[in-house]
């Protein structure tokens, strides 16, 4: 087996026991707690959960883009295997190495384009900056590559948009520019952090279809961060469910929706309007939307047991005393004390 073939046999990104801790004067607060997952070449892995569950912070930790006005401690491994079969731990790269690697091997689309795009630089300048840094192109060649990137994301009148500023574009166009900036250096892994949150439904569908096409065309892997389970059902092959900074369940998308194993995952799916409509048809009466009672725990007040115990309808005395262990296999696993949930 040659190097490229060997590379395809292992995950493109292997995250092992990732921890991110905010160090404050009052003490250390663990915000990402032992997250592990594999992302294979060409695969889409969805990271789902409520707001505050640690999804975006996991992505920012992998990209080494944590806020500089705070003190952080990161642990674990993030092993990236490139197309030649070379594996490196992203968390161990120097700052200089990280600047060369970020955007070239792994790129990220952020939630809100207006907070990420520079308002005083044209769209073309911002896209071209990346290829000049990573590919060493001159100004003219970089501008041509920026134009190709805009055409790739299907922006109308792409040549005109090159010289426009972010405020001159609609929300959907700004999101396409963000995708073009992330894709311009042809990364092997793309992290999409809620890329359609601020868009209307029609534009959301267009952006998601665009990202799916780009993934098929390039063969890149995608870590898709969202709380929209409808998007997960249509665009992911595998799902990791996060709660209170931890992954509590991992499964193929069809298995997760057909038979969620963790009580938290069951609660998330029960909140979907389609599930309420299905129950209404089955029982012949109107059914109210379900919700998950209570609130997620404060991360600086986590106990020794399961972080979901106080909200769980199936909790046992053991749940408040000891952290749950993983049950299941590589195809479908969950962190729960309960022997069986269906």
| Rounded-to-integer distance, Cα 43 and Cα 223, Å | 8
Quick one: what percent of the chain has pLDDT higher than 70?
A: 92
Residue 144 pLDDT: 96
CA nearest neighbour of 49 among 224, 195, 281: 224
Q: What is the largest CA-CA distance in the chain?
A: 68
Q: Find out whether 323 and 330 touch, Cβ atoms under 8 Å.
A: no
Task: Give 44-98 pLDDT, tens digit per residue.
Answer: 999 999 989 999 999 999 999 999 889 999 999 999 998 888 999 999 999 999 9
CA nearest neighbour of 51 among 336, 268, 309: 268
Backbone angles phi, psi at 274, to 5 degrees: -60, -35
Average pLDDT score, the chain: 89
117 CB neighbour count, 10 Å cutoff: 19
The DSSP code for 317 is G
Query: Is residue 73 packed enough to be buried (19+ CB in 10 Å), middle (13-18) or exposed (0-12)?
Result: exposed
Rounded to an integer, the average pLDDT of 92-105 is 92
Task: Give 116-145 pLDDT, tens digit per residue.
Answer: 899 999 999 999 999 999 999 999 999 999
Rounded to an integer, the average pLDDT of 245-262 is 95
| Rounded-to-integer distance, Cα 301 and Cα 304, Å | 10
Backbone angles phi, psi at 9, to 5 degrees: -80, -10
Rounded to an integer, the average pLDDT of 191-207 is 84
| pLDDT exceeds cutoff 80 at 11 | yes
Q: Specify the residue for token string 């069809």.
A: 254
| Rounded-to-integer distance, Cα 319 and Cα 332, Å | 21
Going by pLDDT thresholds of 50, 70 and 90, the confidence category of residue 266 is very high
Task: Give 285-295 pLDDT, tens digit per residue.
Answer: 666 678 889 99
* Higher per-residue confidence, 7 vs 187: 187
| pLDDT exceeds cutoff 50 at 342 | no
Task: Give 144-176 pLDDT, tens digit per residue.
Answer: 999 999 999 989 999 999 999 999 999 889 989
Using alpha carbons, list the distances in angstroms from residue 187 to 29, 154, 266, 294, 300: 33, 19, 35, 40, 36
Six-digit token string for 75: 């642990």
Q: Find out whether 178 and 170 touch, Cβ atoms under 8 Å.
A: no
Residue 3 pLDDT: 33
Going by pLDDT thresholds of 50, 70 and 90, the confidence category of residue 5 is very low
Going by pLDDT thresholds of 50, 70 and 90, the confidence category of residue 43 is very high
| pLDDT exceeds cutoff 60 at 277 | no
Going by pLDDT thresholds of 50, 70 and 90, the confidence category of residue 203 is confident
């Amino acid at each position: 087996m040659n190097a490229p073939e060997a590379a395809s046999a292992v995950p493109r990104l292997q995250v092992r026991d990732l921890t991110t801790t905010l160090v404050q004067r009052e003490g250390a607060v663990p915000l990402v707690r032992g997250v592990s997952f594999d992302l294979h070449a060409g695969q889409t892995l969805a990271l789902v959960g409520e707001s505050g569950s640690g999804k975006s912070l996991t992505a920012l930790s992998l990209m080494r883009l944590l806020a500089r006005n705070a003190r952080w401690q990161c642990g674990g491994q993030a092993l990236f295997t490139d197309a030649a079969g070379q594996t490196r731990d992203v968390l161990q790269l120097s700052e200089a190495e990280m600047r060369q690697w970020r955007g070239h091997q792994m790129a990220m689309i952020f939630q809100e384009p207006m907070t990420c795009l520079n308002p005083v630089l044209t769209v073309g300048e911002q896209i071209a900056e990346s290829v000049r840094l990573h590919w060493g192109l001159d100004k003219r060649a970089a501008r041509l590559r920026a134009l190709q990137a805009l055409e790739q994301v299907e922006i109308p009148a792409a040549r005109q948009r090159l010289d426009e500023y972010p405020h001159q574009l609609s929300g959907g166009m700004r999101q396409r520019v963000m995708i073009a900036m992330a894709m311009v250096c042809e990364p092997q892994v793309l992290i999409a952090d809620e890329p359609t949150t601020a868009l209307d439904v029609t534009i959301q569908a267009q952006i998601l279809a665009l990202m799916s096409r780009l993934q098929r065309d390039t063969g890149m892997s995608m870590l898709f961060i969202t709380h929209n389970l409808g998007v997960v059902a249509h665009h992911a092959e595998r799902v990791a469910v996060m709660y209170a900074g931890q992954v509590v369940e991992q499964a193929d998308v069809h298995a997760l929706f057909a038979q969620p194993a963790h009580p938290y995952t069951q609660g998330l799916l029960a909140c979907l309007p389609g599930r309420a409509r299905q129950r209404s048809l089955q029982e012949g009466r109107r059914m109210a939307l379900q919700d998950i009672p209570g609130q997620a725990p404060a991360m600086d007040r986590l106990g020794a047991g399961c972080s979901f115990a106080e909200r769980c309808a199936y909790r046992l005395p053991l749940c408040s005393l000891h952290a749950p262990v993983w049950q299941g296999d590589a195809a479908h696993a969950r962190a729960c004390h309960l022997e069986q949930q269906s």
